[in-house]
Amino acid sequence: MGKKEINILNYIVVCISEFASRYEMHTKDAYIYLSKNKGIEFLKEFYDVEHTLSFEDVVDDLTAICRKNGGILG
C-alpha cells in the first residue's frame, strides 16, 4: 500500500470517528451506516477535495450523501 492510500485510509478513519461523535453513535455503527449509504465510497472518490475541508463540513457532506442514498440521520 502506497503513501497516498495510507493517507486516504487514515482520513476515512478520522471522518468515521467525527461522524460518530456528531450523531452520538458507536464508531462501528457509524462505519456500517456510512458504508451502507455510500459515504465511504464518497470519501474515497472525492478525497482530493474533501480532505481540504473542515471535518464539520465533511460530516455535513457525508450526511447529505447518505440522506440522498436512503440514510435517515440528520
Query: Which pLDDT tens digit goes with each residue over 3-25?
Result: 999 999 999 999 999 999 999 99
In sign, the C-alpha dihedral spanning 19, 25, 31, 37 is negative
Phi, psi dihedral angles at 72 (to 5 degrees): -115, -5
Indicate the pTM of the whole model. Answer: 0.94
Instruction: Write out pLDDT tens, residues 23-74.
Output: 999 999 999 999 999 999 999 999 999 999 999 999 999 999 999 999 998 6
Burial label, 70 (beta-carbon count in 10 A; 0-12, 13-18, 19+): exposed
